Chain A
Amino acid sequence: MSQPTEVAGPTPAQALALYERMLLIRRMEEKLSADSAAGVLPGAVHLYIGQEAVAAGVCMQLKETDWITSTHRGHGHFLGKGGDPNAMMAEIWGKKTGICKGMGGSMHVADLTKGILGANGIVGGGLAISVGAAFGEKLSGAGHVAVCFFGDGASNQGVFMECLNVSTLWKLPLVFVCEHNHFSEFTRAEQVTAGNIVDRAKAFGIHTAVVDGNDVEAVWKATGDALARARRGEGPCFIEAETYRIQGHMEFEKELLAGGAYRNQQEIDSWVARDPIARWGGKLIESGVATPAKLEEISTRVAGAVADAVSFSERSEPADPELVFDLMFAGQRP
């Protein structure tokens, strides 16, 4: 195993950009949460609130030509990698101007031009796709990498072991990012997950790191090291980022759980106290990178971006139902 790359923390400009990106993810989703609570969104949304440091810390070090695969909780990864907030909001509202023309929705936001292979409604569905993209990049030799986001829930899918095997065997430029958010849908991780997930990756002899997923700088550094290794041709790396899903598995879940609960408020509060955005904001002020006024300015800009996304979506036409027949195949009717 080679030496870890000396990874610098984010520069002041990058530090501020990380803050802004995390806040954009948060504010977009708070709006979606409110819309869902009002019962006006067309479909279900699975929110990423509390996990923003992982998407921002990883994606903001990627190039547009690098690939990501994401999960059903994918808004953060989409926005983290530079996906357009307007097109995401319109997609979730089922509009013609949505990033997938209203055909995919919240669980499937994708932008191929930015290397975003898409959120995925199947738990673990992105794993093998990222291996294939990494295989393609290995063959092309252009130095691009693929990053696979998945959760502790997906780590229990057999395909995870298969993907560790083949990507290690073929030394693929791939970074596995396991976001351990403590829940498999409505079930606590300890009830369904044996041992430490990182040990599954260690069994293949690849480089692994376990980081505080609510500390964007820690995520940034672990990612920088992993990306450097992958780009050097050393094969896949595995990062486990411990974080916490503040919202439920999906919005509106209380109505479905009929009074049942899988966690208590005290636990949620203890993680709200470790909020990655507030922590990073505090650190920026403490270290002199930002002033409270600077953070306020960012917050205002983000609020403007969210308002723009909402207005763009509201002004957009509904999806074109006839497109279903055009899009199913390339150059062929279904």
Chain B
Amino acid sequence: MARRRYTQAINDALFEEMERDPKVIVFGEDVELAIFGDTRGLLERFGPDRIRNTPICEATLTGMAVGAAAAGYRVVLHMMFSNFLYTGFDAIANQMAKLRLMTGGQLELPITIMSGYGGGRSNAAQHSDTPHSLLMNLGGLNVAVPATPADAKGLLKTAIRGRNPTFFMEASGQGGTSGEVPEGEYTTPFGKAAVVREGRDLTIVAIGTMLRPALAAAKQLEEQGISAEVIDPRTLVPLDEDTILRSVAKTGRAVVVDEGRDRASAASHIAAILADKGFATLKAPVKRVTVPNVAMPYAPNAEARVFPSEEHIAKAALSITPVAA
């Protein structure tokens, strides 16, 4: 094991995959200098044919990813902030999400789109969105939401080697977070959730950036005699329903934490699955801790008001869990 920061782990994965397969190319806005640090150094190693800065033209970049993939490349497209996906949405929603089916399976699209998501740093509403559920809803797209450096590396490698378009959602506020990363070659499979913390009394399903406050909340609850299990789905498409249902079958209670806006969120999707397939095991309503249906405000105190925190998670847990006698 080695300690790596989240962005270093992503950077390692890119170096290793570009080294491994000459058909892997990277393009996007400012990938050469890389404000997040994740694509830094690739230009010096691999040259401008394989990694290059593009104009700011998201509608074209997403379409180009489709065309370059059709021409035989494994495309890594960096879209910087997830809000910029919206300006590139035609090729995302109408082309890459659909063309495999529409061409009768002729067109394979090994595309990885990287973008940073989430708030908490006064970036205001146009640089803070968490669009997981929009992407989940389109069909035909995988959505990976790594929460730790180890999973960031392993999931990115799986995405790049895969045969389907995948959104690799970077927890942009956690680029500096360190964690243990296995030495040597490994990949993290899609559709396998991680039980990050075992517990008996309730299950907290925490997506991406929400893992950290969820673990802090679990610790806080422990002090009050409540044993919380924490599950990190790692990918939302495909979603490991079994691990979530198995955990809730054991605990009978669930809080789902998602940085997306509440309405039709990834959290509400998971809550619906629990209501549908886990109803008989539930001892209490499924709670969601999400961002209210508002745009993310700028002022730090206003942002803190709506941003899901350790306190929000603990409060939701306590609302459905009797404090141990």
Which residues of A are interface residues toward B (Cβ below 8 A)?
67, 69, 98-104, 108, 110-113, 117-118, 120-122, 125, 127-137, 139-140, 146, 158-159, 162-163, 165-166, 169, 323-324, 326-334
Contact = CB atoms under 8 A, between A and B. Distances in A.
B299 to A, nearest CB: 33
Interface stretch (B8-16, B49-57, B314-322): B49-57
A54 B154 CA distance: 49
Contact of A110 (B57, B64, B69, B107): B107
A332 B164 contact: yes
Nearest to B110: A330
Interface of B: 25, 49-50, 54-55, 57, 59-73, 75, 90-91, 94-95, 99-108, 139-140, 142, 163-164, 190, 238
A133 B71 contact: yes
A111 B63 contact: no
Contacts of B69: 132
A117 B96 CA distance: 12
Contacts of B94: 121-122, 125
A166 B55 contact: yes
Given A139-B73, A140-B72, A158-B59, A118 B103 contact: yes
A92 to B, nearest CB: 13
Contact of B60 (A128, A136, A332, A333): A128
B68 A135 contact: yes
Closest CB pairs A-B (n = 3) = A128-B63, A132-B67, A136-B71
A284 to B, nearest CB: 36
Contacts of B60: 127-128, 131, 159, 162-163, 166
A72 to B, nearest CB: 12
Contact of A104 (B49, B65, B103, B142): B103
Given A139-B25, A330-B100, A67 B59 contact: no
Contact of B106 (A111, A128, A140, A332): A111
Given A98-B104, A133-B71, A329-B164, A165 B66 contact: no
Given A100-B106, A121-B94, A166-B55, A129 B63 contact: yes
A133 B57 contact: no
Q: Which of A128, A131, A134 has the most CB of B within 10 A?
A: A128
A134 B91 CA distance: 17
Given A132-B71, A330-B163, A101 B63 contact: no
A113 B70 CA distance: 11
B44 to A, nearest CB: 18
Contact of A330 (B71, B75, B91, B108): B108
